[in-house]
C-alpha cells in the first residue's frame, strides 16, 4: 500500500510528538563543592579586617564532645596554599593511613605578606625596594592575641597548635619559633627566607635554646635545591636552612626536636607540597588518635 507524503506525516508526527513529550525533562542538578568556610576577623593589631579560610575535618560536630588540634597556615588564601595543604591533611586523616589527627586548618589570607612576614631590616637597598616591610611584630601579636583566641572561642579546639610557613612565611615562622616559641607546638618551616637582613635572625637569642625550656616542641625544616637568595649579600638558601637546623639541634632543652629535610629534586617554587607531606610523616611517626 502506498501512503502519500502528507498522510505519512499526519500519521507519524503525533506519535513523534508524544514520544518527545514523554521524555523526562533534564534539569541541572549540580551544586557547589564546599571545601570549607570563610570567616572574617577585625584586627586591632593590624588595623584591618582579615579573611580566614577554615577547613573542618570530617565528622566535626559542634554539639559533640570531640575537640581538634589546629593547623595555622600562612599564605592561606584559596589561590595560594590553602587547598593543597587541606588535601594533604585530609589524605593523612584517612582511616587506612591515620597518620595525623583530624585537625582544623586555618588559612590566613594575605593582604601584604612583605609587611606582615618581615622584621625591620638594616639593609638600605631592601628598605627602598620593599617600603612596606618590617611589621612582623604586629602580625605575631595578631596571631597570639587575636587569631588564636578567636578560633578557640568559635571552634572546638585542643591546645595543640601547628604553624606552616614557606619562603617569607618560613621567615615569619622562624621568627615566632625563636622569639615566642610557646605560641605553637609544631613548626613546619619550608625554604625560609633567612637571607632577610643578611641572616640576622640566625643570631637571635632564644628561650628555645635554654635548658629550662619545658614546652614539647617539634620543628621541621625543609628546603629544595634553591641556590643563591634574592638579597644583595651572597647567601645560599640551603646553607641558611641547615644553619638554622644545626642551631636548634644544639639546644640544651630535651623538649625540642628538629628535623632537617633536603629535597634536591625540588626548587623554591615546587618544594612546599612535598615538604609538608614529609613533615607530617616525621612529626607524626606513628598512627594517631584524637585526644
275 part of a folded domain: yes
Contact criterion met (CB below 8 Å) for 196 and 230: no
In a domain, 16, yes or no: no
Tens of each residue's pLDDT in the chain, 291 residues = 454 545 444 444 454 444 455 566 667 788 888 889 999 999 999 999 999 999 999 999 999 999 999 999 999 999 999 999 999 999 999 989 999 999 999 999 999 999 999 999 999 999 999 999 999 999 999 999 999 999 999 999 999 999 999 999 999 999 999 999 999 999 999 999 999 999 999 999 999 999 999 999 999 999 999 999 887 888 999 999 999 999 999 999 999 999 999 999 999 999 999 999 999 999 987 665 544
Residue 288 lies in a domain: no
Does some domain include residue 1?
A: no
User: The domain spanning residue 111 has which CATH number?
Assistant: 3.40.50.1820
User: Domain count of the chain?
Assistant: 1
Q: In which residue are the cell numbers 607524626 written?
A: 284
Q: Supply the range of the domain harboring residue 54.
A: 35-283
pTM of the entire predicted model? 0.89
Amino acid at each position: 500500500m502506498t501512503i502519500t507524503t502528507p498522510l505519512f506525516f499526519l500519521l507519524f508526527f503525533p506519535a513523534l510528538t508524544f514520544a518527545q513529550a514523554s521524555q523526562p525533562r533534564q534539569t541541572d542538578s549540580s551544586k557547589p563543592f564546599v571545601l570549607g568556610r570563610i570567616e572574617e576577623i577585625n584586627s586591632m593589631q593590624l588595623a584591618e579586617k582579615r579573611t580566614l579560610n577554615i577547613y573542618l575535618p570530617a565528622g566535626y560536630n559542634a554539639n559533640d564532645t570531640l575537640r581538634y588540634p589546629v593547623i595555622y597556615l600562612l599564605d592561606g588564601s584559596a589561590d595560594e596554599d590553602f587547598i593543597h595543604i587541606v588535601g594533604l591533611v585530609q589524605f593523612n586523616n584517612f582511616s587506612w593511613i591515620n597518620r595525623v589527627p583530624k585537625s582544623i586548618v586555618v588559612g590566613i589570607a594575605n593582604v601584604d605578606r612583605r609587611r606582615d612576614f618581615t622584621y625591620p631590616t638594616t639593609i638600605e637597598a631592601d628598605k627602598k625596594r620593599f617600603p612596606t616591610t618590617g611589621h612582623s611584630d604586629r602580625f605575631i601579636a595578631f596571631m597570639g592575641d587575636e587569631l588564636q583566641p578567636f578560633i578557640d572561642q568559635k571552634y572546638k579546639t585542643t591546645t595543640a597548635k601547628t604553624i606552616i610557613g614557606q619562603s617569607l612565611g618560613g621567615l615569619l615562622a622562624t621568627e615566632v619559633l625563636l622569639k615566642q616559641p610557646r605560641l605553637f607546638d609544631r613548626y613546619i618551616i619550608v625554604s625560609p627566607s633567612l637571607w632577610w637582613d643578611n641572616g640576622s635572625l640566625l643570631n637571635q637569642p632564644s628561650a628555645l635554646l635554654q635548658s629550662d625550656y619545658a614546652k614539647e616542641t617539634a620543628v621541621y625544616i625543609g628546603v629544595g635545591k634553591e641556590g643563591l637568595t634574592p638579597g644583595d649579600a651572597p647567601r645560599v638558601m640551603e646553607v641558611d636552612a641547615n644553619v638554622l637546623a644545626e642551631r636548634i639541634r644544639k639546644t640544651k632543652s630535651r623538649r625540642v626536636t628538629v628535623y632537617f629535610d633536603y629535597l634536591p629534586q625540588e626548587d623554591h617554587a615546587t618544594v612546599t607540597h612535598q615538604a609538608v607531606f614529609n613533615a607530617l610523616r616525621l612529626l607524626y611517626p606513628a598512627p594517631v588518635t584524637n585526644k
